[in-house]
A and B are shown apart, each in its own frame.
Chain A
Amino acid sequence: MSQLHHLSRQDIKALTEARLTFGPRGRAMDTSTSLQFSLDHARAREAVLSELDVPRIQKALKAAGLDSQTVTSAAGTRDIFIRRPDLGRLLPEATAETLHNESPLDVALLLADGLSAIAAALNGPAFVTALSKRLLARGLTIGKIVCARQARVAIGDRVAQALGAETVVVALGERPGLSAADSLGVYITHRPKATTQDSARNCISNIREAGTNVVDAAEQAEQLIVAMRETGLSGVELSMARAENTLTSQSD
Chain B
Amino acid sequence: MLAGLAADGPIERLAAQHCLADVPLRAFLDDILEVEGDAVTELIAEQHDRDAFAPIASLTVGAFRDWLLDPSTDGRALAELAWGVTPEMVAAVSKIMRSQDLITVSAKIEVVTRFRSTIGLSGHLSTRNQPNHPTDDSRGIALSALDGLLMGAGDAVIGVNPATDSLSDYIRICEVLEAIRTQLNIPTQHCCLGHVSTALAAMERAAPVDLVFQSVAGSEKANNGFGVSLSLLDEAHDAVKALGRAPQGANLMYFETGQGAALSSDAHHGMDQQTMEARAYAVARRYRPLLVNTVVGFIGPEYLADGKQIIRAGLEDHFCGKLMGLPMGVDVCYTNHSYADQEDMDILLTVLASAGVNFVITVPGADDIMLNYQSLSYHDAQYIRDTLGRPPAPEFMSWMEANGIGTPGVTLPTLDNALANLQIPLA
State the CA gap A236–B337 with chains docked (Å).
28
B11 at the A interface (CB under 8 A) = no
**A175 close to B143 (CB less than 8 A):** no
Q: Does A171 count as interface, using CB distance less than 8 angstroms?
A: no
Encode contact with A along B372-415: 1 for CB under 8 Å, 0 otherwise: 10100111001100000000000000000000001000000001
Query: CA of A146 to CA of B83 in the docked complex: distance in angstroms?
Result: 56
Tell me if A4 and B419 are in contact (CB < 8 A).
yes
Contact B302 A19 (CB under 8 A): no
B-contacting 9-mer, from A54-62, A83-91, A99-107, A157-165:
A83-91
Q: Name B366's contact: one of A12, A19, A45 (CB within 8 Å).
A: A19
Which of A9, A18, A28, A115 is in CB contact (< 8 Å) with B367?
A18
Number of A-B residue pairs at CB separation under 8 A: 129
> Does any Cβ of B come within 8 Å of A138's Cβ?
no
Given contacts A20-B144, A25-B150, contact A2 B423 (CB under 8 A): yes
Interface locus among B105-113, B133-141, B287-295: B133-141
A252 interfacial by beta-carbon distance below 8 Å:
no
Task: Check A16/B369 contact, CB under 8 A, given A28-B379, A48-B336, A83-B302.
Answer: yes
Contact, CB under 8 Å: A115 / B337:
yes
Chain A, interface size category, equals 35 or more
* Stretch of A33-41, A120-128, A215-223, A240-248 contacting B (4+ beta carbons < 8 Å): A33-41
Min CB gap A136→B, angstroms: 35
CB-CB contacts below 8 Å: A11-67 with B: 12, 15-22, 25-29, 33, 37-38, 40-41, 44-45, 47-48
Contact indicator B382/A26 (Cβ below 8 Å)? yes
Contacting pair A82 B301 (CB below 8 A)? yes
Are B367 and A1 in touch, CB under 8 angstroms?
no
Which of A7, A83, A176 is the one whose CB lies under 8 Å from B336? A176
A8 at the interface (CB under 8 A from B): yes
Contacts of B143 in A (CB 8 A): 12, 15-16, 18, 20
B335 contacts which chain A residues (CB < 8 A)?
175
Q: Which residues of B contact A83 (CB under 8 A)?
A: 301-302, 305
Question: CB of A179 within 8 A of chain B?
Answer: yes
Whether A17 contacts B369 in the complex (CB less than 8 A), given A5-B420, A26-B406, comes out as: yes
Q: Is A140 an interface residue (CB 8 A)?
A: no
Given A86-B2, A176-B336; A22-B415 close (CB under 8 Å): yes
**Cα distance, A38 to B363, chains bound together (Å):** 16
Q: How far is the CB of A173 from chain B (nearest CB, A)?
A: 11
Task: Determine the chain B residues whose CB is within 8 A of the CB of A17 once the complex forms.
Answer: 134, 369
Task: Please indicate the chain B residues that have their CB under 8 angstroms from the CB of A84 in the complex.
Answer: 302
Contact A18 B415 (CB under 8 A): no
Chain B's nearest CB lies how many Å from the CB of A152?
A: 11
Q: Are A3 and B365 in contact (CB under 8 A)?
A: no
The reply to whether A19 and B337 contact each other, CB–CB distance below 8 Å, is no
* Given A16-B133, A21-B365; 11 other pairs, CB 8 A cutoff: A16-B140, A18-B133, A18-B364, A18-B369, A19-B367, A19-B377, A22-B415, A25-B406, A29-B379, A45-B336, A86-B302
Can you give 23 A-B contacts (C-beta < 8 A)?
A2-B419, A7-B419, A9-B416, A12-B415, A16-B139, A16-B140, A16-B369, A18-B131, A18-B133, A19-B365, A20-B143, A20-B415, A21-B147, A29-B377, A29-B379, A37-B342, A38-B341, A44-B336, A83-B302, A85-B300, A86-B302, A115-B336, A176-B336
